[in-house]
Structure 1
Amino acid sequence: MKINEGTLDRVLRVGGGLALIALAATNTVGVWGYIGIVPLVTGAIGTCPVYTILGFNTCPLRRR
């Protein structure tokens, strides 16, 4: 899979994912907060399947 997320996009995804997981773990937002695993994983690997489907690319590297 090609990387299709830029640095800022990845940082925001990982931070948001960790925040949601932390809120879920402390029962602040309930179990649905564990959906934060999705942005955490996509930010960690640098590829978003939805971006691929829609043709988005926030990675500043040369687009192939």
Structure 2
Amino acid sequence: MKKLALAAALSVVASGAIAGGYVAPTVVEPVVVVEDTSSSAGGILVPAIAVLLLVLALHHS
């Protein structure tokens, strides 16, 4: 009787270990994002507008 209980317990453990089967790991390729720059003057536009607004604010006060 003990051997039968041991065999039943081992079969439950063994079947539970392989219940899902083997699943190959998936390889995810990295996504490369390329952004185009609008122009080379983009870096000077914001400071130029800020200076213009500062001069206008000082001129009107």
TM-score by length of 1: 0.28
User: Considering only CA atoms, is the larger Rg found in Structure 1 or Structure 2?
Assistant: 2
Q: Which has the higher contact order (CA 8 A, sep 6+)?
A: 1
- Structure (1 or 2) with the greater helix fraction: 1
